[in-house]
Structures are given as structure tokens and as C-alpha cells.
Amino acid sequence: MPLYLGRFGYTPDAWARLIADPEDRTQAAREAVESLGGTLHGLWWTFGDCDGYWLGELPDNASAAAVTIAVAGSGSMRLNETHVLLTADELVEALKKAETVRFRPPGVP
């Protein structure tokens, strides 16, 4: 199953709700990922331009996009990104395929 890394940031209103009623959001994230047949490996909080990261497996890109869209639709996020992670073997495969790609750079006839 593909592995995904998500970056998220709450809105000020979402933070205010969490301050008023503190809770561990790991179970909510786990339920979202598992509802589409995935597995959540963890949820971590950070300092900086985002509030946290999640790591999980989902069956496919459409499922990962669905989780991202559903969370965005809640209105509680100011930042909500999901990135597919490639294994070393997948990167090597991509590098080999890159050699066969026909691409014309801008301004080159």
C-alpha cells in the first residue's frame, strides 16, 4: 500500500476549540484514514509553519485525496497537504523511466 505524509495546520478557531476542550486528535486522524481501508502510523506535533504531520498508508491516491478533501471541507485547517512517499526501489524505477521520457524544454525547437 502506498505511504503518505501529511502536513497540517489548524485555523485560529480550531485552536480556540481545542484550548476550550483539549483532546488528543490521533484517534480522529486514525478513523479518517481507516475509513478508507488505510492505516495511520502516527501523528506528530511541531513548531514552525505547520502544526503537525501524519504518516499513513492508504490503498491509492484517490483515497489519500479523499481524506485530504474531507479534512479540508471541515473548515478547521489553514494548511492541509498530502504527499505520496516513494521507496528507494520506486525511485530507481522512476530514474530508469526518466531516461525514456520525451520532453522538449521551453525555448528549444
The pLDDT score that the predictor gives to residue 1 is 93
The pLDDT score that the predictor gives to residue 18 is 97
Could you tell me the residue ranges of all domains in the chain? Answer: 3-98
Residue 21 DSSP one-character state: S
At 39, phi and psi to the nearest 5? -135, 130
Tens digit of each residue's pLDDT, the chain (109 residues): 999 999 999 999 999 999 999 999 999 999 999 999 999 999 999 999 999 999 999 999 999 999 999 999 999 999 999 999 999 999 999 999 999 999 999 999 8
What is the CATH superfamily name and number for domain 3-98?
ACT domain (3.30.70.260)
